[in-house]
């Protein structure tokens, strides 16, 4: 049983990690927290529902549609809620936070309007596939989720450290003005970042739908808050931190059910936020915060 629970924890943790990757990417480059990330994730999940259930089309298409739609949402987010605030005099550093909260409220209620408040089922035979090892059942979905999480992390790390675009992105993260002076098209880079982050969220959405068969307009909020907790735990802007933080949270949420009080399951993430901020504000893998960054 413990082994099964470990697998459960790893699956959940991988999903958390993928969601957190989106947060960490945006924070790493722009230094802002995108509170609408959870809702973009939710829209990705709903696209999966629309494709597999409403239109009865194959799962692969669901991923494509989710990627396309969340990329669009990312673009809108950047154009409407983030760009107008950038470089404006007298705008506090809290402005993007509030403005993305606005987007998140809007998207959540938009989903209510379009898809209704109820739970929408996913329709895919893929989620039934499983392998039996001894007394333990492992589902193909669980393996896929784990693999995608690892794959995303590795390719993101590689892309950031080895490719030209990735280097430009890191230059933006280091200092926006300097990067711009050195010939990096910062506008484009920022837009690219927000879109990639949103797409990662969309993929996570489809994966959650596949794994748990549960898609509601409210799922964005709870997943979004968990994602926030993870990047604080792992260190803001750190890809490795997002991954490790996600797995830690997934495993500890599962373990608290195994050993103790399932009622406090939701609180772990937030208690972790508070403790880590007090003890090690930069997170497990993060660099100490510099004054200029805030």
143: tokens are 């393996």
Least CB distance from residue 124 to other proteins, whole Å?
12
261 touches other proteins by CB under 8 A: yes
55 touches other proteins by CB under 8 A: no
25 touches other proteins by CB under 8 A: no
Q: Single out the residue of 61, 72, 75, 273 in contact with other proteins (rule: CB under 8 A).
A: 273
**Which residues lie closer than 8 Å to 243 by C-beta, 6 or more apart?**
17, 20, 21, 149, 153, 234
Site for other proteins in 103-132 (CB under 8 A): 103-110, 112-113, 116-121, 127-128
Judged by CB under 8 A, the stretch of 102-110, 144-152, 159-167, 177-185 that binds other proteins is: 102-110
**118/113 Cα distance (integer angstroms):** 11
Planar angle of CA 31, 33, 34, nearest 5 degrees: 125
33 touches other proteins by CB under 8 A: yes
253 touches other proteins by CB under 8 A: yes
CB nearer other proteins, residue 120 or residue 153: 120
Site for other proteins in 67-86 (CB under 8 A): 80-81, 84-85
Burial state string for 132-167 with b = 16 or more CB within 10 A and e = fewer than 16:
eeeeeebbebbebbbebbeebbeebeeebeeeeeee
Least CB distance from residue 100 to other proteins, whole Å?
8
CB nearer other proteins, residue 189 or residue 208: 208
CB nearer other proteins, residue 181 or residue 267: 267
**171/180 Cα distance (integer angstroms):** 9
**183/188 Cα distance (integer angstroms):** 12
239 touches other proteins by CB under 8 A: no
Contact 250, 234 (CB under 8 A): no
Place of tokens 């998207």: 107
CB nearer other proteins, residue 182 or residue 289: 289
Calculate the alpha carbon distances from 212 to 7, 92, 174, 181, 193 in Å.
14, 40, 39, 48, 29
Site for other proteins in 194-213 (CB under 8 A): 208, 211-213
- Measured in Å, how far apart are the chain's first and last C-alpha atoms? 45
Q: How many residues bind other proteins (CB under 8 A)?
A: 84
Site for other proteins in 156-195 (CB under 8 A): none
Planar angle of CA 150, 45, 142, nearest 5 degrees: 40
Q: Single out the residue of 56, 92, 125, 290 in contact with other proteins (rule: CB under 8 A).
A: 92
Q: Single out the residue of 68, 154, 165, 258 in contact with other proteins (rule: CB under 8 A).
A: 258
Q: At what angle do helices 140-162 and 2-30 cross, to 10 degrees?
A: 30
Q: Single out the residue of 56, 263, 290, 292 in contact with other proteins (rule: CB under 8 A).
A: 263
Q: Single out the residue of 54, 214, 260, 280 in contact with other proteins (rule: CB under 8 A).
A: 214
Judged by CB under 8 A, the stretch of 164-172, 174-182, 187-195, 215-223 that binds other proteins is: 215-223
Q: Single out the residue of 10, 40, 179, 232 in contact with other proteins (rule: CB under 8 A).
A: 232
Question: Across-strand partners of 136?
Answer: 133
Q: Single out the residue of 72, 140, 143, 221 in contact with other proteins (rule: CB under 8 A).
A: 221
């Amino acid at each position: 049983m413990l082994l099964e629970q470990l697998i459960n924890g790893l699956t959940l943790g991988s999903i958390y990690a993928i969601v957190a990757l989106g947060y960490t990417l945006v924070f790493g480059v722009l230094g802002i927290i995108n509170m609408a990330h959870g809702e973009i994730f939710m829209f990705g999940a709903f696209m999966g529902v629309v494709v597999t259930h409403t239109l009865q089309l194959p799962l692969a298409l669901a991923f494509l549609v989710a990627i396309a739609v969340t990329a669009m949402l990312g673009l809108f987010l950047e154009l409407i809620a983030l760009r107008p605030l950038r470089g404006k005099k007298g705008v506090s550093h809290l402005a993007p936070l509030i403005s993305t909260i606005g987007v998140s409220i809007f998207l959540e209620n938009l989903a209510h309007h379009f898809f209704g408040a109820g739970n929408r089922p996913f329709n895919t035979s893929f989620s039934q596939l499983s392998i039996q090892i001894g007394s333990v059942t492992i589902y193909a979905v669980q393996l896929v989720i784990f693999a995608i999480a690892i794959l995303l992390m590795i390719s993101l790390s590689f892309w950031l450290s080895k490719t030209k675009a990735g280097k430009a992105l890191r230059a933006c993260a280091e200092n926006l003005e300097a990067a711009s002076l050195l010939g990096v098209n910062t506008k484009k880079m920022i837009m690219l970042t927000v879109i990639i982050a949103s797409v990662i969220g969309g993929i996570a959405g489809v994966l959650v739908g596949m794994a748990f068969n549960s898609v509601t307009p409210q799922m964005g909020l709870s997943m979004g808050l968990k994602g926030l907790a993870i990047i604080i735990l792992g260190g803001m802007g750190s890809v490795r931190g997002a991954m490790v933080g996600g797995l830690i949270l997934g495993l500890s949420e599962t373990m608290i059910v195994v050993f103790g009080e399932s009622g406090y399951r939701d609180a772990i993430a937030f208690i972790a936020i508070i403790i880590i901020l007090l003890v090690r504000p930069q997170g497990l893998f993060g660099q100490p915060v510099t004054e200029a960054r805030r």
